[in-house]
Structures are given as structure tokens and as C-alpha cells.
Structure 1
Amino acid sequence: MIQALERGKYYHIYNRGINSVTLFNTKENYKHFLKLYSIHIDPIAETFAWCLMKNHFHFLVRIKEIPEITSEKIILPSQSFSNLFNAYTKAYNKSYKRHGALFERPFRRKQINDNTYFQNLVAYIHNNPIHHNICEYPIQYPWSSYLSCISEKPTKLKRKEVIEMFSDLDNFKYMHQEKGNFFPLEQALEV
């Protein structure tokens, strides 16, 4: 049975392309997905970390307490994620002259219940490009929230809360330099 997304709870949302197909071929693909994310997910969730990879993605979100009302209808959190994936699939399929599903269904979600898991998950998400041998350090990868976390530029990301979970910015950076053992996380995710 699929776990419903409950308001006020933290979740790791992740998925990949069906049959591990590439989701993001160009810089424009990444940008368009993030634009659609802002449209569909920002009204229902706060984002704490994210990473877009060629064939999969990770988000750490907290579902907002107050439901977003659109045209007198309450949008359910799971529906908002489905709307995001459907909108991106339509645009991607049109652009690449393809048809059919792009993402595995249902999208995966895991509830986050403690601070240690939250910290480990943030580091796991930001270190995903390193794990997949794309770069050596999180700061080198443009399609994750790591750069937003260490920047002072305006962002919708819950940067202050993330840094506080690591005590301060120096500890945040230090914890991301550690070559952590993410094997237990990977086993739980099956990505």
C-alpha cells in the first residue's frame, strides 16, 4: 500500500525515469522541471534539499499544514506531485517527439522521523553526484540545493532551517566533505 503524504510531516520524495531512461538531456530540461516544481510543489510543501540527476531525482520536503485551495478544491499533496510529473512528461515528450510514461509509478516517498536521518539524507542528496562519479565535491554540481545552502542569495529553499540542523554553516560544509557510508540509505531507497 502506498503511504499517503500527511500534512506537517517530512518526506524524502524520489523517483527515476521508467526503465532508468534519461529525464534531463539539457540545461533547459533541468530548468523547466524546477520551474514546474515551483508551480506545483511550492504551494503544498517546503523544500529542504533537492538534487536532479540525469535519470532520477531526490527531494526532502515538509508538507505544509494549510491546504492550498484552487478553484474551491483542496489539492492533495500526492496529486500535486503527480501534476508535476505529468506536466514535465508532456513537455518532455513533445520536445523529444516521444510518447508514453517517463517516470516510474508510483513515485517513492519515505517519511523522515528524526534529526539524524534528516541530516544524513541532506548529505546523501547533495553527495549523489559524487556517488555517481559526476564530480568530486557537491559545490561542483549545479543541479542540487547545495549551492543555495552555502549562498546568501534569496531562495525558496528552507536554508536557515537546514543549516541549523547542522548547527552552523561550517559544520554543514564539513559534514558534506565526509565520505559517509550511505549504503544503509541506498538499501532503504533501492535507487
Structure 2
Amino acid sequence: MEPGQSYHIFNHANGAENLFREKENYRFFLYQYNKYLEKVVDTYAYCLMPNHFHFLVGVREDLSGFQNLTGLIKHPSKNPAIKGSADFFNSYTKAINKRFERKGNLFVRAFKRTPILSEQQWQEVFLYIHLNPVKHGFVKNHPDWKWTSWHEYFNPGKVSVLNRDFFLNFFDSWDRVENLMEIKKEWLINKDLE
């Protein structure tokens, strides 16, 4: 993961398992995410589903304390974004294994990270992440799903790790985001009826 680059990060639970079995699991996941990645990435969007998750992030360019980041890209275990992600997944897995008396990997081995290469791709991923609960049939309206960054955009007074102003680089207003979400939601619903 390269400094200055945005990524769509996602992963799935192993097999038919769920990543989140109780509400506290969602909270703990976000807590651990912040603990390990807050200083490494800017977070623009997220959605936590029972058996998978999505994040839209930008790797920070100002990773103080890390010299020669370009060289670290060739050595993923030393790249702060990759190391932070691995530590985060490991810590969450250990906690879940202990809590539910299970063993082994909780996540599919390698988390997926797709670089965002255009403004349109950034917009699509941002909307897709927030519509994921509708896509999978958990809710009919995306604001009804609790475990998404959508709510943090509506509560500017609440402390958040989100970079809540960055979306303005891709959308001219929050009203535009809401309009596009409604259009995409209608398309999803109609697609499922076909």
C-alpha cells in the first residue's frame, strides 16, 4: 500500500462463519481498527456486515517515524500500512478466538486492497460501501444499517476517525451524495426484482 494512494479494502470471514456475532464485536472491531490504523490511513467510508467489511481509505503521506517509504513498499512486512493492517486483523482474531473459544484464522488469508485510480472509481466505491447493507438484503434503506460510516457524516459534533471533508474532492455537496445514493438504491432494488 503506497503513501498518498487511496484503496478499497475488504475481507470476508473464513467459510460460513461471521466476523461479528454480537454488537460488542462491531464496536471492538472499530476500536482495534482505530488503534492500529488511525495514524497510518485516513478513513473516508466503512461498512461492517456480519461476515465481511469494506473500507475506503487513503494511506497517509506523512508517516512520521518511517524513513524511505518507497523502499518499504518492496518489503510489505515493513510497510506501515500493511503491518498495521496485519496487526489489526491478528488482534481482532485473537480476541474473537478467546471470546468464542475457537481456533484458527477468522479472516480469509489475504485482505483485498484495490487501488482507486480515478475520481469516478472513488465515487462508486464510496456509494457502494454505504449501499452494501441494501445490496445484501439486511435493510431496505441504507441509513437503517447501524455499522456504517453513513451516520458519522450526519453527526459532525461526534468524535470520528473519518476524514469527513475529503468527499468534497469528489462530490460537490452532501445533497449530491444523497441523491446519487437514492438513484443507486433504486437501481439495486429494481435489479433484484428482475
TM bucket (normalised to shorter chain) is: 0.7 to 0.9
Distance 2:28 2:136 in 1: 23
Instruction: Tell me, yes or no, if the aligned pair for 2:134 and 2:185 is still in contact at 8 Å.
Output: no
Summarize deviations over 1:46-84 as a string: whole Å, max 9, x none: 0000000000000000001122549xxx76211110100
Alignment partner of 1:132 is 2:128: no
Task: Extract structure 1 runs of 4+ deviating beyond 4 A.
Answer: 180-183
Map of 1:189 onto structure 2: none
Q: Percent identity of the aligned residues?
A: 33
Summarize deviations over 1:113-169 as a string: whole Å, max 9, x none: 111111110110000000011111111111010111233223221111114522111
Work out the number of aligned pairs and report it: 176
1:42 pairs, out of 38, 44, 56, with 38
Mark the CA change 1:18 to 1:181 in structure 2 (over 3 Å): closer, same or farther: farther
Distance 1:20 1:122 in 2: 27
Which consecutive residues of structure 1, in runs of 5 or more, have no partner in the other structure?
184-191
| TM-score computed with the length of structure 1 as normaliser | 0.86
Q: Which moved more, 1:168-177 or 1:93-102?
A: 168-177
Distance 1:117 1:133 in 2: 24
Q: Which moved more, 1:36-45 or 1:14-23?
A: 14-23
Distance 2:28 2:146 in 1: 14
| TM-score computed with the length of structure 2 as normaliser | 0.85
Larger Rg: 2
